[in-house]
Amino acid sequence: MLDRAKNTTGLRPRAKQPADTAGNLASILSSKVVGQPDVIGQIVSYVEMFQAGLAPENRPVGVFLLLGPTGTGKTRTVEALAEALHGSHKNMLKIDCGEFQMEHEVAKLIGAPPGYLGHRETQPMLSQQKLTAVASEDCGLSLVLFDEIEKAATSLARLLLGVLDRGVLRLGDNSVVNFERSIIFLTSNLGAKEMMRELRPSFGFQSAVGGAAVADVTAKMQSIALAAVKRKFSPEFVNRLDHVVTYKALTHEAFAAIADHEIANLQNHINNRLGPKAFQIEVPFGTRQWLIQRGTSTEYGARELKRTVHRHLTQPLASLVARSKVASGSRVRVDVAADGESLQLRLAGEGELPAPTQPTVLLVDDNRDFLKFLERQMAESGWDLVVAESVTEARKLALKRKPAAALIDYSMPDMNGVELAQVIRKTLPETQLLMMTSSKLEEEDEAVCQEYGFPVLRKPFLAADAMNLIRKRLAGVERRGI
Ligand SMILES: Nc1ncnc2c1ncn2[C@@H]1O[C@H](COP(=O)(O)OP(=O)(O)OP(=O)(O)O)[C@@H](O)[C@H]1O
Ligand SMILES: [Mg+2]
């Protein structure tokens, strides 16, 4: 990671922000970009610096080089930031560097100088007007993405050097574009092949290995990426980057979260497009696992997942709708066919219970607002939730609903949460139990958690982190065949 000393004195007018976006940016981004918490934290701190009017003068607000294996969320991160700040993933200036492989093509970015033939026809791709147009009323920060930078001719890096250094770009007609209200992202696959060779031996193993081994892999990936960057770019260029971030190869839990997201998006799309004619899709756990297996790999990450969902869910559904086979308000259930090679869609019959798409999770906390917030965030990802504000209610619900997991607050008024977890363990030995707390656990409770293997989440935490932890515990249960 390369940090540069910053001039934080340049006060600028504070950008207008929607209230809920400013505080929840990390949470919103983590729900859209799974399994990459480090990079999200770094990006959020630069956005906050801009919002506080404390970004340095004479240079962009931040310059990030995003590296790592294919399909791990590099491009998605910038799209997600554009959605969170400006309401649409299109609100960014994206330069596909693959289109600028020849030296003469780089001139298209800045336009031809006056006097050159075709001067008037060559509109620069990077202009002040375009930069301003991708910001929004809510947020004056422009996002600029140079995607797959390694594909561009070397003169593009030279041109960028001036932007990174002084925050300005001089166009062919001698006018100047100012990047002081922009974050610049560069993405690249540099070193990715070498990373794949490193990752291959541990394919399918990474999520099962302990924290230390994962940390080793991450450090190794980072050093491979940095070495590749130093081979490709000049030291001046590398020194002007604020952060060089290496994306992690995604784990099974991360793939599962992405699959949930794609399916939730499809349901939203059905609701928005069909309005009163909308119907519910039911995608049970086993079907989701089938899609993950088909749509993900160490080689291409989650890149194929969207296409897999499209091919096996969206297209067959569209065909049913086109043939008027689905009545409004009905339920369409998607199961894996008997041969395991395809998915089968059928209308769920009246009175038939909906198949749970996710294992049921019990949330227990006496803080109603917190409980509602957590419930909403987890429900958005399609989780089946039961909530309880007291221990008595929790015990009743646990017996009735037999949740696959329970996330329990430590300090409940009627009984401490660790004791409740022990009670549930006795009656429902298969339920995964997790604690959450904003205070320190008593020594003896800490010991009980250790003994029983109850993980403890410290508040504040992100809903995405809680979901990942629960998934991990449930995947462990599946692996052990309990
Ligand atoms: N971490 C992630 N969180 C959510 N979705 C992801 C993530 N990684 C990949 N995806 C899914 O896979 C698709 C491809 O990801 P993305 O374009 O971000 O890959 P990339 O890292 O930029 O890969 P490449 O190096 O090939 O450009 C995304 O559109 C998204 O659907
Ligand atoms: Mg990409």
Per-residue pLDDT of the chain (482 residues; tens, 9 = 90+): 444 433 333 333 334 344 345 458 998 999 899 989 889 999 999 999 999 999 989 999 999 999 998 999 999 999 999 999 999 999 999 999 999 888 888 888 887 665 555 555 667 888 899 999 999 998 999 999 999 999 998 888 888 998 998 999 988 888 899 999 999 999 998 988 888 887 765 544 444 344 456 667 778 888 898 899 999 999 999 999 999 999 988 988 889 999 998 999 999 999 999 988 899 999 988 899 999 999 998 888 999 999 999 999 999 999 888 888 888 888 999 999 988 899 999 888 766 656 666 778 999 999 999 999 899 888 877 788 999 999 999 999 999 999 999 999 999 988 899 999 999 999 999 899 999 999 999 999 999 999 999 999 999 888 888 988 888 887 665 444 33
Rounded Cα gap, residues 334 and 290, in angstroms: 11
Q: Are residues 298 and 233 in the same domain?
A: no
Q: Which atom of ligand 1 is nearest to the CA of 300?
A: 26
List CB contacts of 34: < 8 A, sequence separation 6 or more. 73, 250, 254, 257, 258, 261, 464, 468
- CATH of residue 172's domain is 3.40.50.300
Total structural domains in the chain? 3
Among 347, 378, 409, give the residue marking a domain's end. 347
Q: 290 vs 69, 110, 248, 319, 340, CA distance in Å?
A: 23, 48, 23, 21, 8
- Report how far ligand 1's centroid is from the alpha carbon of 298 (Å): 13
Indicate which ligand has the atom closest to the C-alpha of 303: 1
Structure tokens at 236: 């001046």
The parent domain of residue 26 ranges over 19-249
From 285, 313, 347, the end of a domain falls on: 347
| Alpha carbon of 370 to ligand 2 centroid (Å) | 36
Q: Give the integer Cα–Cα distance in Å for 378 and 361.
A: 10
* Residues forming a β-bridge with 416: 411
The alpha carbon of 306 and the centre of ligand 1 are apart by a number of angstroms equal to 10
User: Do 197 and 328 share a domain, yes or no?
Assistant: no
Ligand 1, residues 83, 189, 303, 304: which to mutate, most atoms within 8 A of Cβ?
303
Q: Measuring from each residue's beta carbon to the nearest atom of ligand 1, which residues come in under 6 Å? A: 33-36, 70-76, 187, 189, 258, 301-303, 305-306
Q: Tokens 């949930």 map to which residue? A: 260
| Domain's final residue, options 317, 347, 377 | 347
Cα–Cα distances in Å, from 129 out to 118, 165, 175, 179? 21, 21, 12, 12
Residues 244 and 258 in one domain: no
Give the whole-angstrom CA distance, residue 4 versus residue 239: 8
Domain-embedded: residue 189 = yes
Residue 13 lies in a domain: no
Q: Judge if 158 and 29 occupy the same domain.
A: yes
239 and 211 both lie in a single domain:
yes
| Angle (nearest 5°) at CA 286 between 283 and 289 | 95
* Lookup: tokens for 98: 């693959």
Structural domain includes residue 352:
no
Q: Would you give the DSSP letter of residue 411? A: B
Q: Are residues 134 and 98 in the same domain?
A: yes
Q: Is residue 75 part of a domain?
A: yes
Q: Which of 451, 3, 415, 35 is nearest to 249 (CA)?
A: 35
